[in-house]
Amino acid sequence: MTLPTSVGLCPDLRQETFELPAQAVSVADARNRVHERLLQWGFAPEVCHTARLVVSELFTNAVLHTDSDRIGCLLYVADGQVRIEVRDQGSYTSTPMLRFPGADEERGRGLQLIETLAQAWGVESAGLGLGHIVWAVIRP
């Protein structure tokens, strides 16, 4: 795991990147890495818990809905905001979007949770055939 970094003219810029196999067991590892790093950076436990939930949902979606071998995560903090980006290698059957499943459906609420917890979120193409980046911003 890399150490926090201060870069250039933005002394509060910190970032952590990691990549894990696109397997269900990696979700817990991603969740714990983000939580621990934010604690080390001095964020309140509530912020760490929120980030933990967000990365869990984003990583789970990448594992379940892409044909990726590996999933990358960028945890980025600047100007007091926490940004979490999850990058997959694979293709979605459709672009990730907010769904409103019926009461009897077991899945489909992950992005609703992101919508509730994050100040902003979105999906970007990582380039032709390179997968997607799904990101969320949390403001403490």
**Beta carbons within 8 Å of 42's beta carbon, 6+ residues apart:** none
Chain segment 121-133, per-residue pLDDT in tens: 998 876 666 788 9
25: three-class secondary structure by DSSP: helix
Q: Does 31 or 8 have the greater pLDDT score?
A: 31
Question: For the domain bounded by 14-138, which CATH number is listed?
Answer: 3.30.565.10
Is-contact 115 100, C-beta < 8 A?
Answer: no
Chain segment 1-20, per-residue pLDDT in tens: 333 444 444 556 789 999 99
pLDDT for residue 127:
66
pLDDT for residue 4:
41
Give the burial string for 78-107 (b: 16+ CB within 10 Å, else e): eeeebbbbbbbbbebeeebeeeeeeeeeee
All structural domains of the chain with their residue ranges: 14-138
Q: Which residue shows structure tokens 């071998």?
A: 69
Chain segment 33-75, per-residue pLDDT in tens: 999 999 999 999 999 999 999 999 999 988 988 888 999 999 9
Helices (H), the chain: 24-40, 45-65, 110-117
pLDDT for residue 11:
56
